Homo-oligomer: A and B are copies of this chain.
Amino acid sequence: MKHSKKFREIWVSTDSHMIANEATKCGAKVHWRSRMSATDTASSLVALQDFIKGHKEFDRIGLIQCTSPFLAVKYLNEAFEHLQQGYDSVFSVTREFKLRWKENRPEKTFVAVNFDPARRPRRQDWDGELVENGMFYFTRRHLISRGLIQGGRIGVVQVERKDSLEVDNPADLNLARYQSGDL
C-alpha cells in the first residue's frame, strides 16, 4: 500500500496491541476495533462500518485484507485507475475454469450447471468465470452506510492465479510461506 503511493492514509484496524505496534512501526495509523467488529464471525462490512463511524473525513475507502499475502502494487494501481474512471466500487477477482454440478434433489443425481457434458470445454475454449478472491475491496462511504461493500458502478481487477492465495487456515499459511520462498 505504501509502495503504491496513492493512499492518503493507511490505517490498520485491530484489537491487538502486538499488531498495533507492528502497524505503527511500519508507518500506519491504528484504528482500535470495537468489540462487536473484532469477533471471529464479524464480516468485512461490519469492520468497514465500524471504521467509517469514527472517520467522517473519508469518502473512498479501500479494504485490503492481510489474508492475501501476494498483493502487488500493480493490482492496486489498476484499482485506482478504475476509481478515476468513475467506478464506485472495485474489488479483486480471479478467473477460474471450474466445471460445476448441481444435485437434483429427489432423484439424487447430478446435472452440469455451466457446460454441456457432451462437449466438455477445454480451458482454452471458454472464458471461465470470475470469482472474488478477497484481496481488496474499494468502496464508498454512502454504500457502506447502506450495508453494501459492492454497489453503484462496479468494476473488478483481475489477479493472476499464482497471486490469489487466500489464507484461511494454518495449512494455507504454510503454503503462503512456501510460495514466498520463506520455507
A interface bracket (residues with beta carbon within 8 Å of B): 35 or more
* A117 touching B171, Cβ below 8 Å: no
* A154 touching B111, Cβ below 8 Å: yes
Smallest CB–CB gap between A171 and chain B, Å? 6
Smallest CB–CB gap between A73 and chain B, Å? 22
Asked if A132 is at the interface of the complex by the 8 Å CB criterion, the answer is yes
- In the complex, the count of this chain's copies comes to 2
Smallest CB–CB gap between A45 and chain B, Å? 7
Q: Interface residues of A: mostly helix, strand, loop or mixed?
A: mixed
21 A-B pairs, CB-CB below 8 angstroms? A43-B122, A44-B120, A96-B98, A99-B132, A100-B129, A100-B131, A101-B131, A101-B132, A101-B154, A101-B156, A110-B156, A111-B154, A112-B150, A113-B129, A117-B150, A117-B151, A118-B147, A171-B179, A175-B178, A178-B178, A183-B183
Q: Which residues of B contact A110 (CB under 8 A)?
A: 130, 154-156
Asked if A109 is at the interface of the complex by the 8 Å CB criterion, the answer is yes
* B171 touching A99, Cβ below 8 Å: no
